[in-house]
Chain A
Amino acid sequence: MSSEDRLEARFATGDWYAVVGDHVTVLLPASQRDRVAGLWDLADSGGTADAVLDALLAGGLSSLDHFALVARGDDSTRLIVRGLPTATVSAPSGEEVVTAAVGTAWAERVIPGVTSIRVTLAGDGDVEHALTPGLARVSTVEFGAASTAASAPSTASGTSEPVMAVEPEPEPEPEPEAPADLRSQPVMAAESEALPESPAPPAAPEPAPVPAPQPLSFGDPGDDPTLTGETPVVEDDEWADRDGQTVAGHHAPDFDRPPIPGQEIAPEVVSQPVASLVFSTGDVVTVDRTVLVGRAPEARRFASHDQPHVVTVPSPHQEISSTHLEIRPGAGADHGSAIATDLGSTNGTVLALPGLDPEDLKPGIAVSLVPGAVLDLGDGVTIQVTNP
């Protein structure tokens, strides 16, 4: 934990979630609780801004109306706001108010030498609590310009004294132990409102009781009129005898499984194709999403914004299975390259990597593809992998 890299951060309590990692802070409305746990894992393990953004967007933008992301790099600060949040950024170059214009996906800035950032989510309260790595329920978050006055506008005090986020030791004030002390108090106080079951835990490296296997509660149960929130399941007479017994349970965020067990889920949004596939049939397909190849390929359980590209290839001798092979942008260690998986085809797939002997793909095991690789599906159909 490198506290010296950080601008001192403070917050006012509220019902938004702040997921605070060493490098990246994500602010999400209360309704996004199901995203918080996963993001915390990533933020806590030192995930980069790109990785956190990737995870944040994995469920699609349509279900993510509002968020803010603040990432502090070596010499600049990256800021993204979508929907409601408003950020006031002070830097030696001046002050700027950043909001997402209506109709845009978000507003994004990379600002060098930031002295303070104030992100207003709901209301504009006094930022009287220290924000340290962990989770907090917030309404306003302010980075930098902290020690002066809780509610002071970040601008004046911030610009006068250019305390850079970038400098390894900008101010001697926060001692190395300080974050641990601070964390135990205000952060947990806010947290325990949301999760009454969790006893105020001591300062510990796991400040997030989110993964606890309690029933999920979305927002305040008191005013939760939802189908999926706190609706009691079977006994509830509101629901039990209404229609044919079908009742709505809680939403299950973990229900989306990768198509192949044990593999990381491919990023649903990749900014650019990771490879091109040149088919012996003459087709050329770019890998900017999942590509399914077969004699009569079927795509199953995809989201509306993530429709796989299905490529039908001829197989007069039926050597190629109906849905034979999947090629998609890699995730995790394979990020930036295409990976191929034989989907349990009858006759298998042969992969020839440049300079290596051809080998059979093992069904269900993803293999990273490099430019020059050739996949042989049978019946004379081959796929050559090239740069996009």
Chain B
Amino acid sequence: MKNVDLHHGAASDVGLVRKVNEDSFLVAPPVFVVADGMGGHSGGDVASQMVVEEFQRLAEAYDPSRGAEQVADAFGRAQARIIDYGNAHRAITPGWHAGTTAVVAVLVEDDGVAKWLLANLGDSRIYRITEGRLEQVSVDHSVVQELIDAGAITAEEAAVHPERHVITRALGSPEGIHPDFFLLPLGSVERLLLCSDGVTGMIEDTEIEEILESVADPRDAADRLVRAAVAAGGRDNATAVVVDVVGLVKDASYDSQRQLESLESKLGGRQ
């Protein structure tokens, strides 16, 4: 874990329509979070901020060998806080709601090997660049995703479906939270993107891929993604976090000797 160097960039924009940016994000390597809040009157922005605060706490005392457990705990603490916050508000304003999506990426140690542990609740997304192609890793918890899974509609129809913003899991849900987790080898992720639906709802995956492939610096890549989403209409808060693992040699075989040689030749080391 010590020799994994992460470069990252993040950008967030309120967009052209919303008054408040209810998205929150966290870059505290090796912990990265994007959360997209729901609920008005200081509901959504507080909910998404609570998620970020709990993951900030995780990052301050992070033990990579217990990564999955600590992430689950952070989700649990955030959930409890959002529920409490909602209950307190409902005492004054009946019908008041607060909730938030969350996508999380942390490096964990699995059997002593560094891996990406990813988690998802709602319709914010995690993408990766693998073998030079963009791939969506997370699967939305949304009504349209269920319709796609059921074969009822295509991905193209989903993009314009009237219920495309309806999510089926979120932090703040009194039904409890059921995040999906993903465990990926470090080498299978050349670049990682966490983003809110203000990005993916405004620009096509092909444009996301083009930006992630062509912009080398992750800070610039995050900026470009958010600016493209705003330029495309900015109907929603848009947030992007881009993470690169630096010094990692793409080597599908995981042959450590070959990997080392390749790394050394690239770095101009011992020749």
What's the least CB distance linking B63 to chain A, in Å? 15
- Residues of A within 8 Å of B218, CB to CB, are none
Taking a contact as CB atoms under 8 Å apart, the answer to whether B175 and A238 are in contact is no
The closest CB in chain B to the CB of A235 belongs to B162
Tell whether B178 is near chain A: CB-to-CB under 8 Å: yes
Given contacts A248-B99, A303-B178, are A296 and B254 in contact (CB under 8 A)?
A: yes
Given contacts A225-B94, A244-B22, A310-B183, contact A63 B178 (CB under 8 A): yes
Partner of A243, one of B36, B172, B173: B36
Q: Which of A280-326 contact B (CB under 8 A)?
A: 295-305, 307-308, 310, 312, 314-316, 318, 322
Which of chain A's residues have a CB closer than 8 A to the CB of B187?
296
Residue of A nearest to B45 (CB): A243
Interface residues of B in 226-271 (CB under 8 A from A): 235-237, 252-255
What 0/1 readout, one digit per residue, does chain A (239-252) give for beta carbons within 8 Å of chain B? 10111111111111
Whether B86 sits at the interface, judged by CB under 8 Å, is yes
**Contact flags (1/0) for B38-61 with A, using CB distance below 8 Å?**
111001100000000000000000
Among A161-169, A226-234, A263-271, the one that faces the other chain is: A226-234
Check if A244 sits within 8 Å of B183, measured CB to CB. no
CA A227 – CA B123 in complex, angstroms? 15
Known contacts A301-B181, A302-B180, A314-B254: A247-B165 contact under CB 8 Å: yes
What's the least CB distance linking B174 to chain A, in Å? Answer: 5
Q: A305 vs B72: C-alpha distance in the bound complex, in angstroms?
A: 9
Task: Tell me if B18 and A251 are in contact (CB < 8 A).
Answer: no
Number of interface residues of A (CB under 8 A): 51
- Closest beta carbon of chain B to A288's beta carbon, Å: 16
A-chain residues with CB within 8 Å of residue B72 when the two chains form the complex: 304-305
**Residue on B with the closest CB to A32?**
B175
Question: Could you tell me the distance in whole angstroms from the C-beta of B269 to the nearest C-beta in chain A?
Answer: 23
Counting chain B residues whose Cβ lies within 8 A of the other chain, the interface size class is 35 or more
CB-based contact A295/B181 at 8 Å: no
A249 touching B166, Cβ below 8 Å: yes
B143 at the interface (CB under 8 A from A): yes
Q: Which residue of chain B lies nearest to A300 when distances are taken between CB atoms in the complex?
A: B182
Q: Say yes or no: is A106 at the interface (Cβ < 8 Å to chain B).
A: no
A279 CB–B CB distance under 8 Å: no
CA A36 – CA B168 in complex, angstroms? 19
- Any chain B CB within 8 A of the CB of A62? yes
Given A296-B254, A304-B181, decide whether A243 and B163 contact each other with a Cβ distance below 8 A. Answer: no
A300 to B139, alpha carbons, bound, how many Å? 10
| Chain B 195-253 interface residues, beta-carbon cutoff 8 Å to A | 196-198, 201, 235-237, 252-253
* Distance to closest chain A CB from B12 (angstroms): 12
The reply to whether the CB of B64 lies closer than 8 angstroms to some CB of chain A is no
Do B101 and A246 touch across chains, with their CB atoms under 8 A apart?
yes
Q: Which residue of A lies closest to B94 (CB)?
A: A225
Q: A109 interface residue, CB < 8 Å from B?
A: no
Q: Which residues of B sit under 8 angstroms from A242, Cβ to Cβ?
A: 22, 38-40, 43-44
**A76 at the A/B interface (Cβ < 8 Å)?**
no
Find chain A residues with CB under 8 A from B113 CB: 312
Known: A227-B170, A239-B38. A244 touches B198 (CB 8 A): yes
| Known A239-B97, A249-B167, A302-B180; 18 more pairs at CB < 8 Å | A225-B95, A225-B97, A228-B170, A228-B173, A233-B143, A242-B38, A242-B44, A245-B236, A246-B101, A246-B123, A247-B165, A251-B168, A296-B188, A298-B184, A300-B180, A310-B183, A314-B254, A315-B254
| Between-chain CB contacts (< 8 Å), 25 pairs | A225-B94, A225-B96, A226-B173, A226-B174, A227-B170, A227-B172, A228-B169, A228-B175, A231-B97, A238-B95, A242-B40, A243-B22, A243-B39, A244-B237, A246-B38, A249-B143, A296-B187, A300-B182, A301-B180, A302-B181, A302-B182, A304-B68, A304-B72, A312-B254, A318-B252
Q: Taking beta carbons and an 8 Å cutoff, which residues of A are in contact with B? A: 31, 34, 59, 62-63, 218, 225-229, 231, 233-234, 238-239, 241-252, 255-257, 295-305, 307-308, 310, 312, 314-316, 318, 322
